[in-house]
Amino acid sequence: MLEFVNFLAALLLLIAFAMLAQRREFPLINLFALQGLVLSISTFSVAFMTGKNHLYLSAAMTFLLKAIVLPVILRRLVRRLGVQWSTETLLNIPTTMLLGIVLVAFSFNLANPVSRLAGTVTHGTFAIATASVLLAFLMMVTRKRAISQVMAFLAMENGLFFAATSVTYGMPMVVEIGIALDVLVGVFILGIFLFQLAESPDHLDLSHLEKMKAD
């Protein structure tokens, strides 16, 4: 079972790289949904392996929210805004991927001393969780459109949740439910904000905000 969790961790890292390289919104949402599915399976596996019953509920919540509900909301948001085509990036894809490889190497060097101190059986996944968070952060800072940055933020939250479930066997259930509701409400508020802001897809380019600030 531990090997299966490690395999899922590696799969999460590959999905994070795929999201970093993706330039179209609908495939990016599909990758986010796949990441949520893998995360829920990983949480279920850790629950089965450790006997932590509250993680079963966490796995069910993760599957419902991140593999079904949020992708449906994001697809409808993208379709209504008409931004399903190519998303603009500050750096070209090869440069971004090279930076991603550097971040992964940095994550493993940073996390290895911490992993040795952890007493959990899945402590080896902490480096991959850290790398997933940093890759999502890189995607956030290199994308121009708000909707892509939102998906990067959600992917970052996935990495943090994976670290919590695999290294510390989860957070208190009240905290997990609160975070899930905060994420869901945040996406709803963002959708309302973008509908008010965007009369055309160009208005979703955050570089316009930087120009307004400079003026």
CA atoms within 13 A on the CB side of 160: 12
- Residue 54 pLDDT class (50, 70, 90 cuts): confident
Write down the pLDDT at residue 199: 47
| Per-residue confidence band for 4, with pLDDT thresholds at 50, 70 and 90 | confident
Q: pLDDT tens digits, residue range 141-162?
A: 888 777 788 888 888 888 888 8
pLDDT of residue 174: 45
Which of residues 63 and 208 earns the better pLDDT score? 63
Structural domain harbouring 10:
2-214
Give the per-residue pLDDT at 88: 66
For residue 120, the model assigns a pLDDT of 56
What H or E segment, with its residue span, contains residue 147?
helix 146-167
The total domain count for the chain is: 1
Highest mean pLDDT among 81-85, 138-142, 183-187: 138-142
What confidence category does residue 138 fall into, taking pLDDT thresholds of 50, 70 and 90? very high
Q: Is it the case that residue 206 has pLDDT exceeding 80? A: no
**For residue 34, what pLDDT is reported?**
95
C-alpha span between 106 and 134 (Å, rounded): 10
User: Residues 36, 70: contact at Cβ < 8 Å?
Assistant: yes
pLDDT score recorded for residue 200: 47
pLDDT for residue 21 is more than 90: no
96 versus 112: the higher-pLDDT residue is 96
Specify the pTM.
Answer: 0.79
Strand stretches in 101-192, DSSP E: none
Sequence-distant (≥ 6) Cβ neighbours of residue 165 within 8 angstroms: 42, 43, 46, 55, 58
Q: What integer pLDDT is reported at residue 103 of this predicted model? A: 92
